[in-house]
Amino acid sequence: MNTAQPKLLDWQDGQPVSTLYDDVYFSRDSGIAETRHVFLCSNRLQERWMSLARDRFTIAETGFGTGLNFLCAWQLWRETAPAHARLHFVSTEKFPLAHDDLQRALAMWPELAEFSRMLTARYHRIVPGWQQLVFDGGRVTLTLLIGDARATLPQLKAGVDAWFLDGFSPAKNPELWQPEIFHEIARLASPGCTFATFTSAGLVRRGLQAAGFAVEKTQGYGSKREMLRGEFSTSPDLGTPTKKHAVIIGGGIAGASSAHALAVRGWQVTLIERHAALAQEASGNPQGVLYPRLSGHDIPLSRIALGGFLHTLRLAEMLLEKGRDWDNCGLLQQAFNAREARRCAEVAARALPEYLVCAVTAAEAGELTGLEMPHGGLWFPDGAWLHPPALCDALANHPAIRKKFSCEPLALEKKCDGWQVCDHNGIVAVAPVVIICTANDSLRFAPHLPLEPVRGQITQIPATETSRRLKAVVCTEGYISPAREGSHCVGASFSPDDADLALRPQDHARNLAMLRALSPALHDGLGGKELDPSRLNGRVSLRCASPDYLPMAGPLLDATLLAERYEIGSRKSPSDLPWLEGLHVNIAHGSKGMLTAPLCAEFIAAMLENEPLPMDATLARALDPNRFLLRERGLRRLVGARVGTQP
């Protein structure tokens, strides 16, 4: 079991006070009036938002605390910003408050009740790393960077328009007022970026000046005589394509989520699929499981599994009908051999919050899943199954997404007005941005990508009285989930470099053997030896895998031009990389597409919009689809160049 969270708050005269820093979260006079004076007015937000020429605005904050500043900013945004514009609020927090404490603190402000309710409804599973919570149908996005700001801010990629510097007082919380933090604040500043803070401490004033801000002292709030505000002079503007039209090719989970991520940002999207409906290939299984395979170490594979798990859960909560199309019924990862037992122990030792994951014994596993289990392992209380076609349909069900079925683009050509997308009859669409979401078939458009098809067969078994006792998803090398529409989905075979789509009795037999090892009681309860592999129903499709098992997400380089300009081993330092401007991929989701594809879709959309990225920069760079090509040419240091060169 995990360690308990330290007690963060004391309530003194109804006010939250930090036990760790011995300081107040906001002014004892009136927190809400202080927020409005110090952060909203001093950053001139009302005035800037009433005349906002762009369609987005980004605030970043040091110290999320109770979320009061966020709620006040959100309220003002609703009242003053143009209806089509989107607010991004990024906030760092090393010690996230427990749900009950946050709720109690926010209950102090009846005028914010509607906003507090919406925040507390989403403020769950706040675990270390990047988390995005979306409100008002996408009009407001909160990105929480959970961890020490000194570690998270260098990993942030964003163009910030206003900073709220709201650590505890510099004397009590010096690490949030260091030159390294001021450096990050300046690095992330967009042209015209402002900042405001309640303190007027000399070290803060000098630190911000040294980082490039023009700083002035102004009237403080309440008992504080003075505070600081200021403006940043210059910073590169990464720009956004002006014509917001994209073509997405491929109607699986990657295509549907890419279309959704752009449509909610105000783009017009054409989603092209060669079949007559969405989710006919790998994304077409009756049940997929949300199985975050974490590692004992905080490596990119583990981080995308965790970030993707939390992101898809939030999507499912918003878009799907629980019980029918999905269920976060809990998930057991069995420690079924020595290697897995070691991994489970290492994950448990990471002391992640137990509402995310905890170690369980075989007896506890039996209790939690409803049937006797031969092994314990890791228990994910929110682990889930979902019906992938329902998620694809829900994601693509947006008025800005035009679906074009039974259309199979074969080639792409760059012209001055954008990318021409052509099938065998000619041009089917033109757009400045194209996202290729065609899994293994992406080789048609980018033949150099190292993609491998991995055949997978699931077995469908009618539910029985015994099997209906199964209350949770159980995973070993394969998985089974509680029945959907009277049938269990048992998966899946794994045959690399095999693209045959015919059902095979021997693969059913393999799935049944896996099920027997997973739970003899369940296997026997489903019919045991009576189950005839040659008569079982199932489904075959192909995963699409990359050599390092990470997805490929982001803009593509021109492989031919790169090879011409930079011979292997050449010492020439690239001045500019030959980008295929506007051409992106969201592919290679292997066995985890339900977890990884929607998060990758958000990542690409955020890059296109120059918004705060929904993941740390190290992970974002690890997804670079050009990583294999660049390494091959000795240009490893340029992997992730579009994300930024900060470590």
In the complex, minimum distance from the CB of residue 618 to ligand FAD, in angstroms, rounded to a whole number: 23
Q: Which is nearer to ligand FAD, 161 or 281 (CB)?
A: 281
Instruction: Show the tokens assigned to 266.
Output: 């105000």
Q: Which is nearer to ligand FAD, 119 or 492 (CB)?
A: 492
Q: Is 452 a binder of ligand FAD (CB under 6 A)?
A: no
Among 37, 589, 621, 633, contact with ligand FAD (rule: CB under 6 A): 589
Q: Is 282 a binder of ligand FAD (CB under 6 A)?
A: yes
Q: Which is nearer to ligand SAM, 93 or 507 (CB)?
A: 93
Name residues contacting ligand FAD, limited to 283-302 (CB under 6 A).
Answer: 283, 285, 288-289, 291
Phi, psi of 376 (to 5 degrees): -85, -155
Per the CB < 8 A criterion, the answer to whether 146 and 155 are in contact is no
Among 55, 136, 148, 226, contact with ligand SAM (rule: CB under 6 A): 148
Task: Measure the CA–CA gap between 615 and 157, rounded to whole angstroms.
Answer: 9
CA torsion angle 381 385 388 391 (round to 10): -40
Among 8, 72, 73, 249, contact with ligand FAD (rule: CB under 6 A): 249
Among 189, 433, 559, 597, contact with ligand FAD (rule: CB under 6 A): 597
Listing DSSP states for 429-472 in one string gives EEESEEEE--GGGGGGT-TTS--EEEEEEEEEEE--TTGGG--S
Task: Measure the CA–CA gap between 20 and 10, rounded to whole angstroms.
Answer: 10
Q: Which is nearer to ligand FAD, 450 or 644 (CB)?
A: 450
95 contact, one of ligand FAD, ligand SAM, none, CB 5-8 Å limit per kind: ligand SAM
SS (H, E, C) 541-570: EEEEECCCCCCEEEEEECHHHHHHHCCCCC
- Interface mask toward ligand SAM for 93-112; x: CB under 6 A: xxx-----------------
Alpha helices in 144-229 (DSSP H): 149-152, 179-187, 202-211
Q: Choose the stretch contacting ligand SAM; rule: CB under 6 A; options: 164-172, 408-416, 424-432, 479-487.
A: 164-172
Instruction: Show the tokens assigned to 375.
Output: 């092994």
Name residues contacting ligand FAD, limited to 322-381 (CB under 6 A).
Answer: none
Q: Which of 155, 288, 251, 138 is nearest to 595 (CA)?
A: 288
Among 438, 495, 511, 610, contact with ligand FAD (rule: CB under 6 A): 438
Instruction: Give Cα 311 to chain centroid, integer Å.
Output: 5
In the complex, minimum distance from the CB of residue 474 to ligand FAD, in angstroms, rounded to a whole number: 12
Task: Measure the CA–CA gap between 647 and 645, rounded to whole angstroms.
Answer: 6
Phi, psi of 167 (to 5 degrees): -70, 175
Instruction: Show the tokens assigned to 282.
Output: 């790998």
In the complex, minimum distance from the CB of residue 372 to ligand FAD, in angstroms, rounded to a whole number: 23
Residues of this chain that interact with ligand SAM (CB under 6 A) are 25-26, 61, 63-69, 92-95, 148-150, 166-168, 173, 175-176
- Report the interface residues with ligand FAD, using CB under 6 A: 249-255, 272-275, 280-283, 285, 288-289, 291, 408-409, 437-439, 441, 444, 456, 458, 491-492, 541, 543-544, 587, 589-595, 597
